[in-house]
Amino acid sequence: MAVANVSAHDAASTHDDHDHEHHDNFITKYIFSTDHKMIAKQYLVSGIFWAFIGGFLSVLFRLQLGFPEMDMSFLKPILGGWINASGKLDPAFYLALVTMHGTIMVFFVLTAGLSGTFSNFLIPLQIGARDMASGFMNMLSYWFFFVSGVIMFISLFLEKGPASGGWVVYPPLSALEQAIPGSGLGMTLWLIAMVFFIASSLMGGINYITTVINLRTKGMAFSRLPLTIWAFFLTAVIGLLSFPVLFSAALLLVFDRSFGTSFYLSDIYINGEALPNTGGSAVLYQHLFWFLGHPEVYIVLLPALGITSEVIATNSRKPIFGYKAMIISMLGITILSFVVWAHHMFVSGLNPFLGSIFMFLTLIIAVPSAVKVFNYLTTLWRGNLRFTPAMLFSIGLVSFFISGGLTGIFLGNSAIDIQLHDTYFVVAHFHLVMGAASFFGMMAGVYHWFPKMFGRMLDEKLGYIHFWLTFVGVYLVFFPMHYIGIAGFPRRYYSWTNFSFADMYTDLNMFVSVAAIITFFAQFIFIFNFFYSMYKGRKASANPWQSNTLEWTTPIHPGHGNWVGEIPSVYRWPYDYSKPGSKEDFIPQTVPLSATPESNLPHEAKLVQLEKEIMAEEGEELVTNESKES
Amino acid sequence: MYGFLISIGVILLIMLIWMVYRIQTLISVAKGSDKKIATTSNKVNAILFMVFLIVFGGWMVWYSIVEFDNFQLPIASEHGIVTDRLFWITTAVTGFIFILTHILLFWFSYHYRYREDRRAAFYPDNNKLEVIWTLVPAIVLTILVISGWKAWSDITSPAPDNAHVVEIMGYQFAWDVRYPGVDQQLGGYDYRLTTATNSRGIDFTDKNAFDDFPSQNIVLPKGEPVLFNIRARDVLHSVFAPHMRLKMDAVPGMPTRFWFVPNKTTEEMRAELGDEEFEFEIACTEVCGIGHFTMRKVIRVVEPEEYRKWFTEQTPFIKSNPDLIADLPVELKELAKIYINEE
Q: Write out pLDDT tens, residues B122-143.
A: 999 999 999 999 999 999 999 9
Closest CA to B205 of B108, B301, B333, B23: B333
Chain A closest-CA separation from residue B94 CA (Å): 6
Lowest model confidence (mean pLDDT) among A44-58, A265-279, A455-469, A606-620: A606-620
| pLDDT tens-digit series, residues A400-412 | 999 999 999 999 9
| Minimum-distance CB partner of B90 among A268, A280, A410 | A410
What residue segments make up the domains of chain A, in order of their start? Answer: 11-15+33-536, 544-629
pTM given for the model: 0.93
Number of domains in chain B: 1
Lowest model confidence (mean pLDDT) among A190-204, A449-463, A497-511, B16-30: B16-30
pLDDT for A622 equals 66
pLDDT for A4 equals 40
Helix (H/G/I), strand (E/B), else coil: B131: helix
Q: Please, which pLDDT band fits residue A5 given cuts at 50, 70 and 90?
A: very low
Tell whether B320 is within 8 A of chain A (Cβ): no
pLDDT of B204 above 60: yes
Lowest model confidence (mean pLDDT) among A4-8, A89-93, B183-187: A4-8
pLDDT for B33 equals 64
Residue B281 lies in a domain: yes
Query: Which CATH number goes with the domain that contains B231?
Result: 2.60.40.420
Mutate to test the interface with A, among B17, B78, B175, B290 (most CBs of A within 10 A): B290
pLDDT of A574 above 80: yes
pLDDT for A22 equals 56
Identity at A277, one-letter amino acid code: N
Angle formed at CA A90 by CA A486 and CA A286, multiple of 5 degrees: 55
Residue B4 lies in a domain: no
Identity at B84, one-letter amino acid code: D
| pLDDT tens-digit series, residues A325-370 | 999 999 999 999 999 999 999 999 999 999 999 999 998 999 999 9
Answer whether B293 sits within 8 Å of A495, measured CB to CB: yes
Q: Please, which pLDDT band fits residue A17 given cuts at 50, 70 and 90?
A: very low
Closest CA to A50 of A118, A150, A122: A150
Tell whether B207 is within 8 A of chain A (Cβ): no
Chain B closest-CA separation from residue A424 CA (Å): 11
Q: Please, which pLDDT band fits residue A625 given cuts at 50, 70 and 90?
A: low
* pLDDT average, residue stretch A20-44: 84
* pLDDT average, residue stretch A468-475: 96
Q: In what order do the strands lie in the sheet with B174-179?
A: B213-214, B174-179, B164-171, B226-232, B256-260
pLDDT for A482 equals 96
Beta strands of chain B (E only): which ranges? Answer: 164-171, 174-179, 213-214, 218-221, 226-232, 237-241, 246-250, 256-260, 280-284, 297-302
CB-CB neighbors (< 8 A) of B119 in chain A: 317, 384, 578, 585
pLDDT for B11 equals 87
pLDDT for B15 equals 83
Residue B177 lies in a domain: yes
Q: Which domain holds residue B174?
A: 164-341
pLDDT of B30 above 90: no
| pLDDT tens-digit series, residues A369-396 | 999 999 999 999 999 999 999 999 999 9
Residue B315 lies in a domain: yes
ipTM: 0.93
B residues 63-82 closer than 8 Å to A (CB): 63-64, 67, 70-73, 80, 82
pLDDT for A612 equals 83
Q: How many CB pairs under 8 A join A and B?
A: 338
* pLDDT average, residue stretch B91-95: 95
| pLDDT tens-digit series, residues A132-154 | 999 999 999 999 999 999 999 99
CATH fourth-level superfamily of A11-15+33-536: Cytochrome c oxidase-like, subunit I domain (1.20.210.10)
| pLDDT tens-digit series, residues A71-88 | 999 998 889 889 998 899
* pLDDT average, residue stretch B23-32: 77
Q: What is the average pLDDT value for chain A, to the nearest integer?
A: 91
pLDDT for B31 equals 74
**From B95, which residue of chain A is nearest by alpha-carbon distance?**
A406
Percent of chain A with pLDDT strictly greater than 70: 95
CB-CB neighbors (< 8 A) of A493 in chain B: 292-293
Angle between helix A227-258 and A282-316 (nearest 10): 160
Give residue B170's Cα distance to chain centre.
17
Residue B82 lies in a domain: no
